[in-house]
Amino acid sequence: MACSGLDLPWTRASLRMTGSQQQAAMLSDKPGEHGRRTKLTNRPFMRLGLLVVFLVVLLGAGAVWLGLKANSVKNDLEAATALVPQLKEEILSSDSESVAATMVKLREHTSSARRQAEDPLWNLSSGLPWVGPNLSAVAEVARSADDVATLGLAPLVEIYDSLNWDSLLPSGSGANLNPIKVAAPRVASSAYAVRASAERLKAINTSQLLPQVAVPLAEANTELKQAVGALSSAADAAAIAPDMLGIDGRRSYLLMIQNNAESRASGGIPGALAVLTLDNGKLSLGAQSSAVDLGVMSPSLPVDPQQEQIYSTRLGKYMQDVNLTPDFPTAAATAQEMWAKKTGQNVDGVISVDPIVLSYILQSTGPVALSGPELEAAKAAGLSTELTGSNVVSTLLSDVYAKIKQPKLQDAYFAGVAKEVFSALSSGKGEAKGLMTGLGRGTDEGRVLVWSASASEQSVISKYRLSGSVGGSSVSPAEFGVYFNDGTGAKMDYYTKRSVQLFRQCPAGGYEETIVRVTSTNTAPADAATSLPAYVTGAGLFGVPRGTVQTNIVVYGPVQANVESASVDGQKAPFAPYLHADRPVGVVAQQLAPGESKTVEFTFGKIVQHTEPNVVVTPTVQHVKDVILPTEDASCDQGQ
């Protein structure tokens, strides 16, 4: 039997009753009770149906509401992001009024985005599956953006007017360093706020995020990482710069001008020396000397045994050789002790630059005219009496040797050039932005190095490339180092061109393997033995034929790795293996006749760092960007 074509469970159950059962059931019902029971029985289902309809409507309305909120948050964050480049330009242009106005707009957008992303419905929906993690991530981005604007950028903008870089740079009349000291705590606080925001964003689990959320989040992480680095550097600089510039008393530094024509691991032989004095920002150049004038240390100064094993006892014996090691803190501390031993003066630190940095400075200050009795011989020899950013490198690293035969007069010329360049600085020539850009470029290339005898100051400096350290926090995890030490005893490195490239091999056994390729070419003329001055070729005094350049190529691998083999022009070659700062070191000596080119390769294995490798090189006459070639990765079968 069927009922309206429906075969329902309760219908089938009633048909299975016997007649007496049905009758009893019917007699048991009071008149009208059956209909009332039916209504009572259906009422919960009606309520449930109404609840479902209500929830559907509510969720639909909530979805529309969240959609509107999400779009509004997106627009505010995009508007805030678009203002950042504008703010940077205004800061660089020293347009304080525009900076303040842009900052107000920026904060309006970030606070609006945060307010909407912290809406109660948004917070409630963040607990839902699938959509919840995305809403939560967007809310965190909005909060972080507002914290960066309010706690990071706004405090810096408030002190922006007090930091006039033209008046803060050292000069002959001094500088007002108090604004930096006053600003230091606020810069540190801003750096902390931005770092905290970056850490929160980095902690977000991205596995459940939609691309529309994950991609902007990754971009925000990259931007914040760069901002954290910049602000941390600014905070560190603000913390130690006033003291190092002599705010509380006179500071003296040994200035080493490294000569790239005769390579040393950190740049070049430190031929010209001078004492740079800073007294409340007042810059002056004091006693000048040369490495030759200091003579031989007897007995030799003690140095780190590991480094002495690699670079010999010359490290502690001659000022010319303190920087055979690429570790500038070692070289600087040794130079400070040598200076004190020979002159009786204890300097507060050591600063190193090279002629390429001087060219960057002169691009800002403009030409300097050379004068003074110590330069008479140079003038008589036909050397330039006016140096510019374009001629200072060739003049100091080549012309001076071609036209002045006596080493003492060469050193006097170097000293005279240094004096005039720093006189230009102390007299206020050049604008702050250009000078800062030039010095920043020199620092990035490893041409500006600083060491402080103060342990607290050095602990800050050691975090940065400026320290020239081969170990510690300034060294990236998968860092290689390629350094050059002259073995000719002459100035032939002016003619030597090099390139350095990393070749990342396929991982094996869970370890990385990388080949470091160093190609060197002697570009000296074919008749260099006779056409170049004896002082440039070395005249064969150290067993190297005239015109030939000999170099000790020193290559460092990452911490805990192994240096496994070396080859020259594809043929396996012997090398000397060492260990320094827990890093493997390989050394190969190489000779190049005029026009000759050779390629040395070192293979490093058992590399535990699975990060992108980088390489640091000795700064030479070449631009560093021309020396370091892009890393190449081998094509590896992902299935292996």
Reported as a single tens digit per residue, the pLDDT across 427-448 is 777 777 788 888 999 999 999 9
Same fold, 251-452 and 475-633: no
| pLDDT tens, position by position, 419-428 | 888 888 777 7
Three-state SS letters, 63-108: HHHHHHHHHHHHHHHHHHHHHHHHHHHHHHCCCHHHHHHHHHHHHH
Of the listed ranges 15-29, 33-47, 186-200, the one predicted with least confidence: 15-29
Mean pLDDT of the chain: 84
pLDDT surpassing 90 at residue 275: yes
pLDDT surpassing 60 at residue 53: no
Say yes or no: domain 251-452 is CATH 1.10.1060.
Answer: no
pLDDT for the residue numbered 551: 98
pLDDT surpassing 90 at residue 49: no
Q: Give the three-class secondary structure for 363.
A: helix
pLDDT surpassing 90 at residue 604: yes
Of the pLDDT bands very low, low, confident and very high (cuts 50, 70, 90), residue 370 is confident
Q: Choose from 114-118, 151-155, 208-212, 609-613 the range with maximum mean pLDDT.
A: 609-613
Q: Give the three-class secondary structure for 271.
A: strand
pLDDT surpassing 80 at residue 51: no
Q: Choose from 366-370, 559-563, 632-636 the range with maximum mean pLDDT.
A: 559-563
pLDDT for the residue numbered 570: 96
pLDDT surpassing 90 at residue 297: yes
Tokens at residue 203, please?
A: 């902690």
Of the pLDDT bands very low, low, confident and very high (cuts 50, 70, 90), residue 12 is very low
**Over pLDDT 70: what percentage of the chain?**
86
Rounded average pLDDT over 458-464: 95
pLDDT for the residue numbered 231: 83
Which fold would CATH assign to domain 475-633? Immunoglobulin-like (2.60.40)
**Over pLDDT 90: what percentage of the chain?**
49
479-486 and 614-617 strand pairing: parallel
pLDDT surpassing 80 at residue 153: yes
Residue with more model confidence, 148 or 632? 632
Of the pLDDT bands very low, low, confident and very high (cuts 50, 70, 90), residue 190 is confident
Residue with more model confidence, 14 or 239? 239
Contacting residues for 478 by C-beta, under 8 A, at least 6 apart: 512, 514, 558, 607, 609, 611, 612, 613, 614
Of the listed ranges 408-412, 477-481, 533-537, 635-639, the one predicted with least confidence: 635-639
Of the listed ranges 28-32, 116-120, 221-225, 589-593, the one predicted with least confidence: 28-32
pLDDT for the residue numbered 277: 92
pLDDT surpassing 90 at residue 161: no
Residue with more model confidence, 129 or 108? 108
Domain locations along the chain: 66-243, 251-452, 475-633
| pLDDT tens, position by position, 222-254 | 887 888 888 888 889 889 999 999 999 999 999
Please choose, from the candidates 530, 561, 568, 559, the residue with its C-alpha nearest in 3D space to the C-alpha of residue 547: 530
Of the listed ranges 284-293, 341-350, 376-385, 461-470, the one predicted with least confidence: 376-385
Contact 332, 349 (CB under 8 A): yes
pLDDT for the residue numbered 35: 46
Of the pLDDT bands very low, low, confident and very high (cuts 50, 70, 90), residue 212 is confident
Strand partners, 296: 318
Rounded average pLDDT over 7-19: 35
pLDDT surpassing 80 at residue 169: no
Contacting residues for 246 by C-beta, under 8 A, at least 6 apart: 278, 279, 280, 281, 282
pLDDT for the residue numbered 458: 97
Cα–Cα distance list, 227 to 141, 194, 459 (Å): 15, 7, 22
pLDDT for the residue numbered 44: 53
Residue with more model confidence, 78 or 561? 561
Per DSSP, the residues of 416-469 read HHHHHHHHHHHTT-S-HHHHHHHHHHHHHTT--EEEESSHHHHHHHTTSGGG--
pLDDT surpassing 60 at residue 67: no
pLDDT surpassing 60 at residue 16: no
Angle at CA 295, nearest 5°, toward 294 and 296? 125
Q: Give the three-class secondary structure for 253.
A: strand
pLDDT surpassing 90 at residue 469: yes
pLDDT surpassing 70 at residue 555: yes
What are the CB-based long-range contacts (under 8 Å, 24+) for 59-67? 62/121, 62/125, 65/121, 66/121, 66/122, 66/125, 66/135
pLDDT for the residue numbered 424: 82
Per DSSP, the residues of 565-586 read EEEETTEE---EEEEETTEEEE
pLDDT for the residue numbered 471: 96
Question: How far is the C-alpha of 222 from the C-alpha of 216, rounded, in Å?
Answer: 10
Please choose, from the candidates 487, 462, 484, the residue with its C-alpha nearest in 3D space to the C-alpha of residue 474: 462
Exposed e or buried b per residue across 601-612, where buried means at least 16 C-beta atoms within 10 angstroms of its C-beta: bbbbbbbebeee
pLDDT surpassing 80 at residue 55: no
pLDDT for the residue numbered 165: 60
